Structure 1
Amino acid sequence: MADRDDEPGDKNSEEEFRELLKNLLSGGGGIDPTQLAGAAGLPNDPASVAALFSQLQQAMNNADDGIDWSAALRQGEQRAASAQVQITDDERARLDQALQVASLWLDEAVEFGRLPDSPELLTRRGWVAATMPIWTQLAEPVALSIADALTRVMREQAPEEMQSMIAGASKLMRGIGGAMFAMQLGQVVGQLASEVVSGGDVGIPLQADGRAALIPQNVAEFGSDLDIPSTEIELYLAVRELAHARLFRHARWLRLNLISAITAYARGIEIDTERLEQLAEGFDPSNTEELRRAVESGALISAKSDAQQDALDRLETLLALIEGWVDQATADATSRLPKSDAIAETIRRRRATGGPAESAFATLVGLELRPRRMREAAAMWRAVTEAVGIEQRDALWAHPDILPTSEDLDDPSRLIARLTGAESAASEADDEFDQALEALLRGETPAAPGEGGEEPEGPGASDGSGPRPDDGPSPV
């Protein structure tokens, strides 16, 4: 007798679900392909729709449990290239010279040595290609959470006759949910490529080799509305990028520590299934704007747990320390530039209105960075520099255990007291006072000078220069 699985017309649940999805994607289910692309945050054009459907088809045929991130790279490069201009010879010569001068100036402002590799100049598309491996590493925990949540909600919302089919297709659904997120990641990174001016502009080293990099097209656009000579802007941004790269090159633990902290935080993210259910119940295929906004804004991410809030606070402090140090090092190194303060203020305003780092982290991991904390970190580093100098300031990056804490940002005076030794001196004085007070409370009277076997204090008491009984009268 033949096995049931071999009977004509009998399919397992995953095959049935795959056929259902193929029918939907071909238009048989009444869903407009352009509207589905809109729900994924993609442009409403034939190329984007074709790319989405191609990726979903690949996800259905993918035997692995992981997410195929190749779509993120393709989508990101496509979006970045849409308004890209190539680097001119004049730009290359100007920025190469700016980077050389910036390196000389930075030598005077920080203890960290020069980079072993020459900085590079990237197009927007080149920046996407260079940074996408790190973006996918950061985004994967959230992508898997969203994909699993979509599967749960579909299982809960599906009619009873479809329950067994959906239950057997969980891996397939996870792949499709991951594919949708990969397309969304490509859109986010592609958009960022038009905003970032350098490799370290988002606060973390996104290039695997840690090289410094500038994006000439965006550097030019950064200063287009400023009444500041372009040479000053190029020098300032070059110094800032080199300072960031030197910091991560010197503090080798920092990059892994930071990326691990972000991914650990992201793994703890839970998806708001109630919100997802509301979207599923009221989903209108003709109006996908609400779903797109929910994905882009991070509204599907649940409120943070206490443990996550603690992790977020630590992560925010570390990011603030990095940005604050870079701010201070850049300010010191660019003191020769007449408009350096104005450029620094432009960068601060850019942060306050949601710069590249803020928008990227909010979308991908629900991480909100506070510009105020970065200003406090810059003020702390400035106070430390004035108190103990550059060498001792930069030595604080030698190990995570000696790095300033969130409390040090709130009150830098304690950190400065510790670095200058004032805190230990005050602590010794406090210990002596506590010992004397404890003796009094026990009823002990402190010994008078010369009692208790102690040498009397006073002139000549301990150096033998005072009169002795058998010396006789001192000569007049």
Structure 2
Amino acid sequence: MNLYRSARAVAGASGTDAIDWRSAAEAAKAATDAGSIALEPGEREAYARDVRDAREAVREVSGVEFDVPDTVEIQNRHHWIDANVATFERVMGSLDPQTDPFPGIARTINTGTMTVLLAFLGRNVLGQYDPLLLAETPDDDHALYFVRPNILEAADVLEVDPDRFRRWIAFHEVTHAAEFGAAPWLSTHLETRMEDGISALSEGSFDRDTFRELDAAMTVVEGYAELLMDHAFDDEYADLRRKLDARRQGRGPLQKLFRRLLGLGLKQRQYERGKNFFETVVAAQDLETASLVWAHPDNLPTNEELDRPGLWIRRVTR
């Protein structure tokens, strides 16, 4: 970790975009210990086996046909940063540096902000199935990402068996693969709304309706994944979820501030709100009815329906 090199990369931000993405990636990696991916014997196959088992279990409980990527990519923190810079750049490409009277200063500030974001996430993300990666090249093979140093560190801090914890993470990411496999339109739907919202921000306005719609869609994504996890995971998991939640609540004030600024508190709310919605739907109907959310974009629940699932059930089953 080299904070001087990180600061120098941010200070040297250049180009014509609102963010110097190459400098942001370089600075984030300089500020972040990469961690080890020196795998133990059989560990690579264990990751692959967890993904295969998760695919079969999720298929069985959901009735949804989907494939997972052929590649299971075991990353260190620097790999994760490199893999995600292109996604952030594409989604945030509509930011216009010319709207600021001092674009050079704004570029440096924006690059520094993105550096903090990438470094923080790079130290905390455990696994990833990124739907935005699918929007650019939908015919390519895509990888499930597992950030091995973060998984091992989290398992150690939580005092849980690392193999069991890794398997739980694999099941969670495969549930996302099931969602986007069941709804090929979903990645474009999400990315379009992100771009619309960011474009409005770059013009000095806030498109409340777009962000509400995006929040509702992400609540569905996270809630459905939680639903499938509860039905598909082949081991006890209540202690894992409880310990993770306690760890989030017990972080220091600086990390809590970062989580609020990055919207990670919102993500937790999406988990809880979405899970409650789908549990209510399954209790009133069944899992097959819950899966109707993926039949068409119009089947996504509105914000009102997320809090009143009966309205959604009546609308999509009539």
Q: Structures share a fold, TM > 0.5?
A: yes
In the alignment, which of 406, 409, 431 is matched to residue 306 of structure 2? 409
1:379 aligns with 276
Please show how residues 54-69 of structure 1 align to structure 2 within 5 Å: 55-56=12-13, 59=14, 62=15, 64=16, 67-69=19-21
Offset of residue 389 of structure 1? 3.0
* Higher Rg of the two aligned structures: 1
Q: What residue ranges of structure 1 are gaps of 5+ in the alignment? A: 1-41, 152-172, 272-301, 422-476
- Worse-matched range after superposition: 386-395 or 309-318: 386-395
Give the structure 2 partner of residue 217 of structure 1. Answer: 149
- CA gap of 1:72–1:249, structure 2 versus 1, over 3 A, is farther
Question: Structure 1 pair 368/101, CA: closer, same or farther in 2 (3 Å)?
Answer: closer
Superposed counterparts of 1:194-273, under 5 Å: 194-200=123-129, 205=131, 207-208=133-134, 210-269=142-201
Alignment root-mean-square deviation, CA = 3.2
Partner residue in 2 for 1:177: 106
Contact 1:188 1:360 in 2 (8 A): no
Aligned to 2:44: 92
Once the two structures are TM-superposed, the CA of residue 236 in structure 1 deviates from its matched residue by 1.1
* 1:65–1:129 distance in 2 versus 1, CA, 3 Å: closer
Query: Which digits, 9 at most, give the CA deviation of each residue in 1:13-39, with x for residues without a partner?
Result: xxxxxxxxxxxxxxxxxxxxxxxxxxx
Name whichever structure is richer in helix by fraction. Answer: 2
Quick one: structure 1 residues 381 and 347, their matched pair in 2 at CA, closer, same or farther if it must change by over 3 Å?
Answer: farther
Q: Is the 8 A contact 1:210 1:249 kept in 2?
A: no
Distance change >3 Å, CA 343–CA 184, structure 1 → 2: same
Q: What is the total number of aligned residue pairs between the two structures?
A: 306
Assess if the C-alpha contact under 8 Å between 1:141 and 1:267 holds in 2: yes
2: distance between equivalents of 1:87 and 1:350? 27
**Residue 88 of structure 2 aligns with which residue?**
135
Q: Structure 2: which 5+ runs fail to align?
A: 135-140
Q: How much has 1:198 moved relative to structure 2?
A: 0.7
Separation in 2, partners of 1:141, 1:220: 37
SS for the counterpart of 1:268 is helix
Deviation at 1:254, TM superposition (A): 1.2
SS of alignment partner, residue 112 of structure 1: coil
1:315 matched to which residue of 2? 214
The corresponding residue for 2:99 is: 148
How far does residue 120 in structure 1 lie from its aligned partner after superposition? 1.9
**Shift in CA distance, 102/244, structure 1 to aligned 2, threshold 3 Å:** same
- What secondary structure sits across from 2:282 in the alignment? helix
Asked if residue 337 in structure 1 is aligned to residue 235 in structure 2, the reply is yes
Whether the aligned pair in 2 keeps the contact of 1:327 and 1:378 (CA below 8 Å) is yes
Confirm whether residue 113 of structure 1 aligns to residue 66 of structure 2.
yes
**Residue identity in the other structure for 1:412:** P
TM-score normalised by length of structure 1: 0.57
TM-score, normalization by structure 2: 0.82
More off after superposition, 402-411 vs 204-213: 204-213
- Aligned pairs (5 A) from 1:2-13: none
Deviation at 1:270, TM superposition (A): 6.2
